[in-house]
Copies of this chain bind each other. A is one copy, B any other.
Amino acid sequence: MPFGVLVHFVAVTVEARTAPKREAILEATIRVLRDRGLSGLKVEEVAREAEVGKGTVYLYFQDKQDLLKALVEHHTFAYYRKVEEVVSRGGPFRERLAEVLRLRVDWVEEWRGLWAAVAREAQPEDTTGWLRGMHEHYQRLLERLVQEGKARGEVRPELDTCLTAASIAALACNPQLEFPREAYLEHLLEVLLKGVAL
């Protein structure tokens, strides 16, 4: 992760911790977004939902774009915290991988349905760099999972940790198509664990 991005994320996290009102506004924004969709999202509505004045919203966010950008980060890091919880839980690699895949498929569905549009509307100057910075965090969590899987003797030790984490990240990222959810998750796990070759 480039240093600037890292500093930014640390700043976001620290700020979120020390500013419960900021967090309340972001949570209210998610509720408005779910109720009315992206086109119905207005700062007035967010303020009403968060039970603060419109001016208070502008204390924390420059404009709607800034709010949307913060929202995507907020939501993405909430997802990463769930992944981190699973990774930190310990226990068999297989079980943790299954949970991570499940969280990932949920996330991709939600992202495709709503968050990609929000991210687009947020129009950060450097979209690719911004998304990459966030994704890097996920990559690090998966590297930890692979590392621990190796330490437990459950992952092939000859595989490169970084690229194995990248392959796991890649695996669950698709698809445009919908498949029966449970069967698909089981299958992803099976293919990742044992491969397809005879």
List chain A positions with a Cβ less than 8 A from chain B. 93-94, 112, 120, 128, 131-132, 134-136, 139, 146, 149, 153-157, 159-160, 162-164, 166-177, 179, 183-184, 187-188, 190-198
Q: Could you say how many copies of this chain the assembly holds?
A: 2
Which residues in B have their C-beta under 8 angstroms from that of A183?
160, 163
Known: A153-B198, A177-B136. A192 touches B193 (CB 8 A): no
Q: Is the CB–CB distance between A176 and B120 below 8 Å?
A: no
Q: Is the CB–CB distance between B194 and A179 below 8 Å?
A: no
Given A157-B198, A167-B187, 13 more contacts at CB 8 Å?
Answer: A93-B197, A94-B197, A112-B128, A132-B176, A166-B184, A167-B188, A169-B177, A171-B171, A192-B195, A192-B196, A194-B194, A194-B197, A195-B195
- Distance (Å) between the CB of A46 and the closest chain B CB? 26
Which residues in B have their C-beta under 8 angstroms from that of A187?
159-160, 163-164, 166-167
